[in-house]
Amino acid sequence: DIVLTQSPTTLSVTPGETVSLSCRASHSIGTNLHWYQQKTNESPRLLIKYASQSISGIPSRFSASGSGTDFTLNINNVEFDDVSSYFCQQTQSWPTFGSGTKLEIK
């Protein structure tokens, strides 16, 4: 199995800040990595596909990068609406998800 390790577990930021969330894979997965946002009591929403490809309808404040084993989701100018858990998911083999990063606003 390919294990995805996300860090930090929880992140508390001030509105307007820029944040970076990390996802590390146990084996190289190229760019076969997607990011999802999940607000409390809602279904996940696809944010970024294949490591850095944007998704229609997602604010441009969300961007991502990485390849191989190290991936990053960046959120520019964090807003209150960004309070969510963020999960990475790999597609190199059968799909697995990271444990998530919970974003809180101070």
Partner 1 sequence: QVTLKESGPGMLQPSKTLSLTCSFSGFSLSTSGMVVSWIRQPSGKSLEWLAAIDWDGDKYYNPSLKSRLTVSKDTSNTQVFLKITSVDIADTATYYCARSPEYGGYTLFAYWGQGTLVTVSS
Burial 25-44 (b: 16+ CB within 10 A, else e): beeebebbbbbbbbeeeeeb
Residues 16 and 75: beta-carbon distance below 8 Å: no
Q: Which is nearer to partner 1, 76 or 96 (CB)?
A: 96
Q: Is 91 a binder of partner 1 (CB under 8 A)? A: yes
Nearest CB to partner 1, comparing residues 18 and 27: 27
The stretch among 7-15, 22-30, 39-47, 64-72 that binds partner 1 (CB under 8 A) is 39-47
Q: Give the residue among 92, 86, 84 at the shortest CA–CA distance from 33.
A: 92
Q: Quick check: 71 binds partner 1 (CB under 8 A)?
A: no
- Residues that bind partner 1 (rule: CB under 8 A) add up to a total of 20
CA distances from 7 to 20, 21, 56, 96 (A): 9, 6, 26, 16
The verdict on 97 binding partner 1 (CB under 8 A) reads: yes
Using CB under 8 A, list all residues that contact partner 1: 1, 32, 34, 36, 43-46, 49, 55, 87, 89, 91, 94-100
